Amino acid sequence: MLVFDSGLGGLSVVNAIVNARLGVDLFHLADTAFFPYGEKADADLMVRVPRVIRAGIAAVSADLVIIACNTASTLALDVVRGQVDIPVVGVVPAIKPAATLTRTGTIGLLATPKTVTRPYTDALIAQFAMGNKVLRHGAVGLAGAAEAKLAGQTPDPDIFKASMAGLFDQEGGEALDVIVLACTHYPLVQAELEACAPRPVTWVDSGEAIARRTAFLLESHLDTDAPTLRTGLTTGGKDGATRRVLSDFGFQSTQVLSVESQL
């Protein structure tokens, strides 16, 4: 199985899959040379995302790929599915479970600036919010703060404060009781976000749902008694730091993937 992200946010999905004890071999592909996706032009991502994923599938002979990036999934999921012949699982904002959890009828959507404005996100809210109010905030620098934390650095605390203020300071923010973490990087800094929230709320992400969907699609390939082998792939940017983080997460090796041959 190939887990793909612009950086290391996909590790939050890897954690959910490992905890589900599926017994599958995991490859995590981080497009570190083009991080962060949330600040890149849509036209560039529409070319880049399918190209990198195709290169990753070819390199590891993957049976399934998870686009563990809300920005990429809400933009290019259908395009990728049209270009590969294996199942593609997208990670999109967890609006539906959030709507079942809210008691006040007000949900916070914390995402990258790209994800909060996507038509795909609009459609999810229209279909699954069930009449609840959704307050959106596009957090600047939050994915980078998660990467910094993983690398052993101390992120700027103002990034977490601004992310929470962007939701709670909106009109209606006083009623907010559920926050959707709509970027796979964000669960990695949930503790920091909680510390900056003015009161306790329920936090929702897509990790466990993705693990369940993966188990369903790979049912005939699962060996729950087998150890999970983990191999990392990067596209070359920040390679040293990425290797150290992947090693800390139990990845036995990491190699650089060339994407130049993918047209």
List residues with catalytic annotation: 69, 183
The Cα angle at residue 224 between residues 218 and 230, in degrees rounded to 5: 80
Please, what sign has the CA dihedral across residues 180, 186, 192, 193? negative
Q: What is the rounded distance in angstroms from the CA atom of residue 145 to the CA atom of residue 114? A: 17
Sheet holding 106-111, edge to edge: 133-138, 106-111, 178-181, 202-204
Q: Which 3 state secondary structure label does DSSP give 161?
A: helix
Q: What is the DSSP pairing of strand 26-30 with strand 230-234? A: parallel
Residue 26 contacts residue 1 (beta carbons within 8 Å) = yes
| Axis-axis angle for helices 70-83, 42-60 (nearest 10) | 60
Quote the distance between the C-alpha of residue 44 and its chain's center.
Answer: 19
